[in-house]
Amino acid sequence: MTRGPGLAAVVVAALGLAACGGAEAGGAAAPDERLTVLAAASLHGVFEDLGEVFTEQHPGAEVTFSFAGSADLVAQLDAGAPADVLATADETTMTRAVADGTVAGEPQVFARNVLTLVVPSGNPAGVGGLDDSLDGAALVVCAPQVPCGAATTALADLLGVSLSPVSEEGSVVDVLGKVTSGQADAGLVYTTDAAAAGDAVETIAVPRADEVVNRYPVAVTTGAASPELADAWVELLLGPEGRELLGDAGFGTP
């Protein structure tokens, strides 16, 4: 199982993407045995784990993921990228896909997430929170058009603070990468990403962060080549195994 490489490569070379799970020896799976999932970047780790469970439950199936910022995923789908399932990091972005007619039926919320502040291990800039300790520090956040960026704006407004980031990234993974590589002194990311980073970061709790909740919806696409497998993926997400793995990764579940 591998990650999809982004918009251009997904559109041009989707049929050549590496897959996870059960192709028969000596040949690729039939089209109705391939499942392509476009998923928000913050779902990377848990969806790969779920992919292993899924292929155990569906021998012969192949699962391919493309992880990116939710706005990019919707753009990919609207541009004709082949996909069976779309999972975004907020309902606003999914609403755009519904309006575009690229997803079918009613999207279903399967997870929740909130923001936290992270700094590199050792906190070299001495950041203490979303306060004056950020003066002169390199803060990185998500761009406003992606769900983690919209949540950042909402949280700053709620707290009555003005943030001055040195860069705005296209996904929460990019924000985390800036912090763990030492290119930034602090970043606002989802609590799940902070947990996944382990000792590479330190977490600083943000007051009232639990009042700004991103709800993650999932939907089958209108152009799904494997609608039965797509429905089965949604069932896995909403079922007990999916809820357990999402909970273990730090997500809240409905």
Q: Are residue 133 and residue 52 in the same domain, yes or no?
A: no
Q: Are residue 21 and residue 101 in the same domain, yes or no?
A: yes
pLDDT tens for each residue of 147-191:
999 999 999 999 999 999 999 999 999 999 999 999 999 999 999
pLDDT tens for each residue of 77-91:
999 999 999 999 999
Task: Please give the pLDDT value at position 30.
Answer: 59
Do the strands 214-221 and 85-87 form a parallel or antiparallel pair, or are they unpaired?
Answer: antiparallel
Collect the ranges in the chain with pLDDT lower than 70: 1-32
Q: Are residue 162 and residue 231 in the same domain, yes or no?
A: no
Query: Measured on CA atoms in the order 241, 247, 250, 254, is the torsion positive or negative?
Result: positive
Tokens (6 digits) for 30: 């039939």
Query: Measured on CA atoms in the order 198, 201, 205, 209, is the torsion positive or negative?
Result: negative
Q: Are residue 106 and residue 14 in the same domain, yes or no?
A: yes
Q: Are residue 76 and residue 124 in the same domain, yes or no?
A: no
Q: Are residue 139 and residue 102 in the same domain, yes or no?
A: no
Task: Please give the pLDDT value at position 14.
Answer: 35
Task: Please give the pLDDT value at position 230.
Answer: 97
Task: Please give the pLDDT value at position 27.
Answer: 46
Q: Are residue 187 and residue 68 in the same domain, yes or no?
A: no
Host domain of residue 92: 3-112+215-248
How far apart (Å, rounded) are the C-alpha atoms in residues 113 and 86? 17
Supply the CATH number for residue 227's domain: 3.40.190.10
Do the strands 167-169 and 139-142 form a parallel or antiparallel pair, or are they unpaired?
Answer: parallel
Q: Are residue 100 and residue 225 in the same domain, yes or no?
A: yes
The answer as to whether 254 is a domain residue is no
Q: Which amino acid is at 199?
A: D
The answer as to whether 253 is a domain residue is no
The answer as to whether 106 is a domain residue is yes
Q: Are residue 108 and residue 119 in the same domain, yes or no?
A: no
Give residues with Cβ within 8 angstroms of 231, minimum separation 6: 220
Q: Are residue 129 and residue 97 in the same domain, yes or no?
A: no
